[in-house]
Structures are given as C-alpha cells and as structure tokens.
Structure 1
Amino acid sequence: MGSDYVVDDKSDRRLYIGNLDQRITEAALIKMFSPFGKIMSEDFLWHTRGPKRGEPRGYAFIQYNTVEEAQLAKEKMNGRLACGRPLVVHFASEKYLLDAAAAAAAAANSSRGIGETSRPKIMGSSSGLTSRSAKIAAIKNKLKTMEEESCRMKKPRQGDNIT
C-alpha cells in the first residue's frame, strides 16, 4: 500500500516558526526545537538591507528528519511562550494555505453588504468555519496563557528571598 502514497517531500518535514522575539538566537531556536527530533536543516532569516540590516526578521524554518518529528514539534511548540511571545509553528507548506484563508476572511469581513447567502460559494467554506473556530479558540488560549505568564513575571516567587 505504501508505494502509491510515498511522496517524501521536504515540505512535509519543514516547519515555519514565526513571531520570534529579537532576543532569540539561532542557537536558542535549535535548543528549543531539538528535543523533538533530529534537525536536518535550519534557516534563521535576517534583514539583508534597509535600516534593520543584520537584525533577525522574526521567523525561521526548521526541517526535521521525519514527518512525525515535525508534527510533534508543531504540536508541542505552537503557542508556547518564548521571551513572552507565543510562537507560531506550522508546516511550511501550510503558510500559503493560512495566508489564503486570512485573505478570504478579510474579504468576507469587508463585504458585509453582501448577504450570508453568498458565502457558501467560497470553496471549502464548511471546513473554513471549523478552521476559523479553531483559530479563535487557539487565540483565546494564547491570550489566557500570556496573561498568566505576565502575572507570574510581575509577582516575585515566594521561595526566592528566604535564606
């Protein structure tokens, strides 16, 4: 059964990591993602020109040895706080799908004069609604986590000053 579906493309193992804080280095990124599997390659992107030349662009790509390792890293790291910011982790091939979904959502929101009846014409709208609900739930969870994290950072831990 395997030979019909074996398409071992790099994009199946390559993750996009976004919303990186400027303080996160390449070494720190590799250290954060290495527990999930063997990293085959890492592309940490930098500004190459303009006023931000030499500064990190805020995103990177990591390619794992297997699809399973990449999936595990995606599940464990997406939304996890790093330097106070929730990481955005998904398969590199999904980026284009997410961009298209965001553009479709923006177009739907901007055309409120058109009734609800025109929306089903968008291809895959039923899965898009599920995806949108999932995205909203994920954002709410991230906000809750960020609030909890900021509360922890403001309050000193009780055991720190006891001698």
Structure 2
Amino acid sequence: MRLTMRTNLAMRVLMACAVNDRHMVRRADIARVAGASENHLAQVVHHLSLHGFVDTIRGRSGGMSLARPAEEISIGQVFRQFEDVVPFAECFSRGENTCPLAGACRLRVALKSALDAFYSELDGISLADLVCDNAALEALLALPQTAPRFAMECAPRH
C-alpha cells in the first residue's frame, strides 16, 4: 500500500497548522517548511477546507488555520477524504471493474478486511496525538510568528 501525494501533503498541512495553532499559516510558508509545491498545496488546502479540516482566509493577511481542535481531527477521517477517491484495487471500483475473476475471487474480501483494519487503527489517532509534545516536529514546522513552544494546549496523555 502506498499513500497518494495528496494525502501526504494534507498531513503536512494539518501538522503545520496544529504546530502553529492560533496563528494564520500561509500556504507559501508550509510549502517552504514541508518541501512541497505551492500549486499542489493549493489543491490540497481547498479539499481540506471543503471537508471542514481547515478554515481559509483570502488576502494579504490571510492564510489558514485548523477548523476545529486537533483532538477532534481523526487521521482516519483525513485519509478517507483523500484515499477513497482512488480505488485500492480494480475490483473496488464499481464502474471500472473489468477483472474477469471478480465474481469468484476471495482476495477482494481479504483486502477489504485489511483496509477496514487499517482505517480503524487510524481512526484512533488524532492530529493532536501526532503533534503534542513532539519537539522534533515543532522544530521543523514552527513558523517565525509562533512562540518557541507549542501554542496548542496538549491534553495530558492517558
């Protein structure tokens, strides 16, 4: 299994917004610190905005920020928004399935079960789990306008 570039970029955007919580983050800044193209990020940010993960403001003092607390953003939700567009295997596509084995093949059932387990695992991980108390990530993604330590309040771990 391999994640699409869009999912990878979506996670970079969300982590950058979470690390720089309470600040507007500009696409150009994320592109610079996350090693990404601004054009690719524009598409990803638009998709994240459409699905309620980030709020965006246009203009000179615009940018983006998390649309809800990082604790409420499930990594499984994010992955589904970006990965479900591309069927995992040909037999998962209703309209484009030309596999002659589709009616008899049990591999589809096994793959579906594995994907369900994969997403179930990601559903239990929040964006906050990825960024809270992660000094190495903060060092990579903190932008100049943010405080030296996380602005985001990290809940105590259980």
With the length of structure 2 as denominator, give the TM-score of the two structures. Answer: 0.31
Higher relative contact order (CA 8 A, sep 6+): 2
Rg larger in structure: 1
With the length of structure 1 as denominator, give the TM-score of the two structures. Answer: 0.30
